Amino acid sequence: MNRTLSVPGIAYGGDYNPEQWPEEVWAEDVRLMREAGVNMVSVGIFSWALLEPAEGVYDFSRMDRILDLLHENGIAADLATPTAAPPAWFFRAHPQALPVDHDGRTLSYGSRQTFCPSSPAYRQAALRIARALAERYADHPAVVMWHVHNEYGCHNAACYCDTSAQAFRSWLRARYGDDLAALNDAWGTTFWSQWYYDWDEILPPRATGAVPNPTHQLDWRRFCSDELLSLCRAERDVLREAAPEIPATTNFMVMYNFDALDYWRWAPELDIVSNDHYLRSTDPESEIDVALSGDLVRSLAGGRPWLLMEHSTGAVNWQPVNRAKGPGELRRNALAHVAHGADGIAYFQWRAAKAGAEQWHSAMLPHTGTDSRIWQDVVRLGADLKALAEVRGSTRTAEVAVVWDWNARWALELPSQPSEEVRYLDLVRAWYEPLWRSGVAVDFVRPDADLSSYRLVLAPSLYLVDDAGAANLTGFAARGGTLAVGFHSGAVDENCHVRLGGYPGAFRQALGVRTDELFPLLPGESPGLSGEVPAGATATLWSERLRLEGAEAIASYTSGVLAGVPAVTRHTHGAGTAWYLATRPDPTTLAGLLDRMRTEAGVEPVRTTPEGVEAVLRRGADADYLFLINHTDQPAEVPVSAEATELLTGKPVPGSVAVPSGEVAVVRELRGGS
Ligand code: GLA
């Protein structure tokens, strides 16, 4: 069944928590929502304690009134199962459902998401409230989507209790075909006398005296992601049973500080992919993070539009210092998410809380009320999104793919690696940045994805790769594509076993190189590079004693212990080309290399724009939608087709469009127009 969102145009709204306010405030809420053009809100996310005051006893009266009020005002509801915040009575009745942390401490209730994902009592209670809600509201005209749980794993991605240990063992039995010898082999348990003779000897990787086994830790991360996924699936099935036509989503967290879930495994389970994204206060160019996460979420959604389920109008409250947004930033952020494929924009939350743990988090309606810049921006954005209604459903096409893999990320960041300084997201972002700056469209792919529609495939960091993934990537080059691989890739297989015979194991042959020893660089250490790179080029973070086995050297070290050794190589592999970046070049050098790769591969930017003006294209049935986001303090002028229209102003922009500093233009260019 094709379950799609029935809200017209671009969805706009936020988390709505009216239970935090007296009912007389609700009328003002819906009046202001209408004023701002809000057409969908997420309700009930943390309402469990009010909906089910005692086990099996329900009070739906408040939710009835909220949904009726929304419907009367033409506002749709994304109705949440409240299972991220079990009530106090649940934990008093089921104390064994409380999670145990890595150090063996049992956590207490009194916040949210403090439950053990493997607890049978929790599962039963969660499915009971989900079923009760679904049965009551399946036919309510306001309800257009189910919001399953909230941010699975945000606070309880792993529980180390005995119940979890039991669940982990069952998961391992399934993975290893009930064969303990296979597990011992995969985990390399002859090392440090870790051999297991009985499944019951296996524990979660709890705090221990020295470094735990890497494969044990990696399987644990896989298990934790799957365990939460099984809860999500179970809730989804209950909802589908009661309301087969209502689409279900759960809000992902594809952002810098969360890596607990393998969303490649999650996304196919949902009718609509949605994501929460927040800016990092210390990131001077958070617009790049917005673009990267948007491209990743769109890719998770299989190229289909997705929903931005949460972001903030201003500051959050959970970073050391919480930066407010600058002039126009709210609008640029939101429209950038739309540019990268979002068909809905929502915030945490509608009305800023007066009490509770998030009282200092921004909202659409701030503490100050409507006499505020945030409110003006919120109203303006509502009008913008209305003007972009026709963009809904349009897609993006890219000729460049960046390989993204949670298993590789987890494995790379396990303890006892050659360098703790190597961080997965930093590497991916470093390669993504120059493409973003040049206006090149990018998809993210799994290592085993169908790559036939791409010209250039980049694997900035792929420490772990299985044989099939490696063969898929090198096969892409052999068939004529351009592949670029970052250092320390292909090093281990899916069990974290080192690929022997020289680095970078799985890619050595395709890259035409062999490394016999790794030389991670200390912070501050940056040997020079020379060759086909700009004068003054340097390397940081990593180096390798590499020798050429068919490849040509593009750049070599000019100083340090590896002076004269190649650092960047290029190899003809079959009908294609395979590049190896055995270090992290300085940003200008890296940008130059990526520019060369994409030019040689025949990849063009979607549009050439002045520096700092982001250009993103969405393709509709009959028209292209060119999003131009000016992140600079200078006005810009961008050439467009002769019959173009700027949608936010509704004005024709024949041949060229002006994008004032800090502003956004969305230009409709009819397909086949001049
Ligand atoms: C998360 C949660 C929300 C809220 C916001 C605050 O994304 O889903 O409930 O706590 O963070 O930024």
For 99-123, how does the pLDDT look when each residue is reduced to its tens digit (9 = 90+)?
999 999 999 999 999 999 999 999 9
Pocket test for ligand 1, best of 348, 349, 361 (most atoms within 8 A of CB): 348
Residue nearest (by alpha carbon) to ligand 1 atom 9: 348
Instruction: Give ∠ CA 76-134-120 in degrees, rounded to 5.
Output: 130
> Are the C-beta atoms of residues 443 and 499 closer than 8 Å to each other?
no
Give the mean pLDDT of 469-496: 98
Q: What is the DSSP letter of 498?
A: B
Provide mean pLDDT across the span 10-33: 98
- Ligand 1 atom at shortest distance from the alpha carbon of 278: 12
Residues 6+ away with beta carbon under 8 Å from 224: 117, 153, 157, 158, 260
- Asked if pLDDT for residue 385 goes beyond 60, the answer is yes
Reference 508, options 550, 466, 565; nearest CA is 550
Upper half-sphere CA count for residue 370 (Cβ side, 13 Å): 9
Which residue from 269, 274, 265 is spatially nearest to 298, judged by alpha carbons? Answer: 274
Q: Whose CA is nearest to atom 12 of ligand 1?
A: 316
Tokens encoding 432: 């993504």
Two tokens at 416? Answer: 């006892």
Task: Using the predicted structure, report yes or no on whether residue 256 has a pLDDT greater than 90.
Answer: no
pLDDT, mean of residues 402-425:
98
Residue 59 one-letter amino acid: D
Per CATH, the number for 11-174+205-391 is: 3.20.20.80
pLDDT in tens, 510-519: 999 999 999 9
Fold assignment, 613-670:
Immunoglobulin-like (2.60.40)
Q: How far is CA 71 from the centre of its chain?
A: 32
Residues forming CATH 3.20.20.80 domain(s) in the chain: 11-174+205-391
Closest residue (by CA) to atom 5 of ligand 1? 348
User: What is the pTM (predicted TM-score) of this model?
Assistant: 0.98
Number of alpha carbons in the 13 Å side-chain half-sphere of residue 19: 20
pLDDT band per the 50, 70, 90 thresholds, residue 243: very high
Q: Which residues pair with 15 in a beta bridge?
A: 42
* CA atoms of 433 and 430, how far apart (whole Å): 5
Nearest-atom index, ligand 1, CA of 312? 12
Q: Which of 43, 78, 83, 151 to mutate to test the pocket of ligand 1 (most atoms within 8 A of CB)?
A: 151
Coil, strand or helix at 522: coil
pLDDT class of 674 with cuts at 50, 70, 90: very low
According to CATH, the superfamily of the domain at 400-601 is Class I glutamine amidotransferase (GATase) domain (3.40.50.880)
| Ligand 1 midpoint to CA 140 (Å) | 26
Amino acid at 78: D
Cβ count within 10 A of residue 267: 16
- Could you give the CA distance from residue 531 to residue 557 in angstroms, rounded to a whole number? 9
From-to residues of CATH 2.60.40.1180 in the chain: 613-670
Of 293, 310, 333, the residue with max ligand 1 atoms within 8 A of its CB, to mutate for a pocket test, comes to: 310
Question: Which DSSP string do the residues of 368-402 spell out, in sequence order?
Answer: T-SSSHHHHHHHHHHHHHHHTGGGTT-B---SEEE
What's the pLDDT at 671?
A: 86
Looking at the chain, the domain(s) classified CATH 3.40.50.880 span: 400-601
Task: Give the nearest ligand 1 atom to 316 CA.
Answer: 12
Query: Which residues form the catalytic set?
Result: 151, 310
Pairwise CA distance, residues 661 & 630, whole Å:
6
Amino acid, res. 101: D
Closest CA to 241 of 135, 126, 144: 135
Q: Beta strand pairing status for 76-80 and 40-43?
A: parallel
Burial of residue 355 (number of CB atoms within 10 Å: 0-12, 13-18, 19+): exposed
Q: Which helix (H) or strand (E) holds 14?
A: strand 11-16
Residue 554 is inside which H or E element, if any? strand 552-557
Give nearest CA residue, ligand 1 atom 3.
348
Q: Which residues line ligand 1 (CB under 6 A)?
A: 150-151, 276, 278, 310, 316, 348, 358, 361
Query: What's the rounded Cα separation, in Å, for the pair 473 and 456?
Result: 11
Per DSSP, the residues of 586-612 read: -HHHHHHHHHHHHHHHT---S----TT
